[in-house]
Structure 1
Amino acid sequence: MAVTMSKLTMAPILFHWSAEDKLAFYHRIADAPVDDVYLGEVVCSKRAPFFEKHYDEVADALTKAGKQVVFSTLAEVMLKRERHMIAGFCALEDFPLEINDSAALWHLNDKSYRVGPLMNVYNEDTMAYLAARGAVHFSLPPELPRDSVAILAAKAKELGATTEVQVFGRLSLALSARCYHARAHGRIKDNCQFVCEQDPDGMPLNTLDNQEFLSVNGIQTLSHSYLNLIGELQDLQDMGVTHFRLSPHTVDMVAVAEIFRAVLDGETNAQDGRAQLDALDIPAPFVNGFWHGQAGHRMVGA
């Protein structure tokens, strides 16, 4: 097997899955060829109580399976309870922390942390500012084009930090103060009755002429299509990106991880890896347009 320093990571679950489904998912991921697993509610604080009591159990099982567990914070902090959630996560001592909102900086006191993709690190000055205040790892926004990723990967290396890029899964495009998911069902955010649980991969949003366009997840807008950078992995490795992020969906994520791991390690070429992903019947087209500086919904060089 080829020797590689590339780490494969499993992002936090963005959707409102039941506690039983999440437990089953992490039980399977314990046996998957991933290095880091992110836990935590990123999108909606109202969902958090459904799974909080299982964190210790899941973190212990993943750690025993050889995974590095990282806790991720909310990406939008607006309420008092959300500030308390952030403070609680920032007080963790046993696991690394990934922050997705600058509200966490108040509580960190120069403690080392990871920066999540929803923090919008778009330039070297932002990266240097955060690194000077404890950031040791940057998961870059998935809409960045190749040249920007190359510049930021080089800057991170100069700062002694590591970089991560999402390579699979629906792309997070926007967050809103309002919950479109609830509104689409005639409900308000404070009385949503957790309608988002009906859409475990997001609610489809079509155009007026019924073309598949976006996917809605509570307050989050996602792409309809799935990012797939398996053909760009070698380029990412060459420019110094160290971590490769898979975003969980209801598809066979263990199989997805095995395919990406094999390509990262040089055991399978990118063309064969792409064919294996195609065989999984992903319920949306693959895209890589942002990486190539084009519209995000495009697939370049398929």
Structure 2
Amino acid sequence: MAAHKIPSLTLGPVLYLWPTETWRDFYLRIADEAPVDVVVLGETICSKRLHFMEPVIAAVVDRLESAGKEVRFSTLALVTLDREAEYQRSLARGSSRTIEANDLSALHALKGKAHAIGPFVNVYNAATAKMLARNGATKICLPPELPSSSIRQITSASPEVDYEFFAFGRLPLAISARCAHARSKGRTKDNCQFVCKEDPDGLPVKTLSGQPFLALNGVQTVSHSCQAILQDAAETSVLGITSLRLSPQTCDMVAVARLFAELVAGRIDPEEASSRLARLYPGVPLSNGFHHGRAGAEWVSRLRNNEGVA
């Protein structure tokens, strides 16, 4: 039997607003202890948060690269202001590191320059992947709502880029020009006073019957459940995936990264991985429904079917 290449691990950007020191210390520990190959930095959700990381980002980049990690910079996922558009252009022009585009507005500035595509760009078919590759994309993190059948179709029909999928984290569901997080606390977007910092893992939203449903993260809406796609190297290879993305939450992300490293290396099986992951991130249900073409919040056990396994 042919050996399957072990997929690499990518740590996505922190999507929440964490205090500067917390954000810095998180990445310093990632540099020293986490078995991830790529770390994506930068503000993705709200440009007003940029100044929280600016004083320490140079030190964080230096520490990560000294530890042998590849550093990429993320663009904003939504551009609504001229200053945000200029920020996107300056990031694309001025960085010697790979830029991850999370909004189509960045593609013109990145044209002809090797770059990555983040999960906020809707890559739903092979034609889109081919177009992005012609523009200079060398890696695409596919949207987390894609079922495994669609992933396989895209990767097999457009193999000219490397593909990544969203293997761990609350699912990014929507982003808006308005800030529901600020509104929920009686403030406006322009005078938000950074209320999102009060909820470092998102503000829970419940249904009228009191059931946990979603979470607010500034202008972003994320899932209540945490996606966990737990596959071994052989299963990942069948899908044409070369790397797994871990999205930072307030749990122990070094332990999460180690768990995924053990999983893809074959040192633990998916059942053990799901049990350990549930203990690492207690109080937040695991989900993988989208991967099986079902409701995203569902958890589908490892029943083999024509689409693979969870």
TM-score (norm 2): 0.93
Q: 1:124 aligns with which of 99, 122, 126?
A: 126
Partner in structure 2 of residue 152 of structure 1: 154
Q: Percent identity?
A: 45
Render the CA deviation track for 1:217-266: whole Å, top value 9, x for unaligned.
01111000000111476422222200100000110000000000001111
Partner in structure 1 of residue 39 of structure 2: 37
Partner in structure 2 of residue 7 of structure 1: 8
Q: 2:84 aligns with which of 82, 85, 91?
A: 82
Residue correspondences, number:
299
Render the CA deviation track for 1:91-111: whole Å, top value 9, x for unaligned.
234211100111112212311
Contact 2:181/2:219 (<8 A) preserved: yes
Alignment of 1:166 with 2:156, yes or no, is no
Partner in structure 2 of residue 225 of structure 1: 225
Q: Which moved more, 1:224-233 or 1:44-53?
A: 224-233
Render the CA deviation track for 1:168-224: whole Å, top value 9, x for unaligned.
110001111100001101111111000000000000000011100000001111000
Partner in structure 1 of residue 48 of structure 2: 46
What is the alpha-carbon root mean square deviation over aligned residues?
A: 1.5
Alignment of 1:19 with 2:26, yes or no, is no
Offset of residue 45 of structure 1: 0.3
Q: Which moved more, 1:268-277 or 1:211-220?
A: 268-277
Structure-1 separation of matches of 2:276 and 2:234: 17
Contact 1:231/1:271 (<8 A) preserved: no
Partner in structure 2 of residue 142 of structure 1: 144
Which residue identity lines up with residue 266 of structure 2 in the other structure? G
Structure-1 separation of matches of 2:84 and 2:16: 18
Partner in structure 2 of residue 203 of structure 1: 203
Which residue identity lines up with residue 81 of structure 2 in the other structure? L
Structure-2 separation of matches of 1:135 and 1:3: 25
Structure-2 separation of matches of 1:8 and 1:249: 16
Structure-2 separation of matches of 1:196 and 1:129: 36
Segments of 5+ residues of structure 1 without an aligned counterpart are none
Offset of residue 273 of structure 1: 1.6
Partner in structure 2 of residue 106 of structure 1: 108
Q: Classify 1:182/1:101 alpha carbon distance in 2 versus 1 (closer, same or farther; 3 Å).
A: same
TM-score (norm 1): 0.95
Contact 1:156/1:162 (<8 A) preserved: no
Offset of residue 64 of structure 1: 0.7
Structure-1 separation of matches of 2:95 and 2:175: 29
Which residue identity lines up with residue 115 of structure 2 in the other structure? Y
Segments of 5+ residues of structure 2 without an aligned counterpart are 303-310
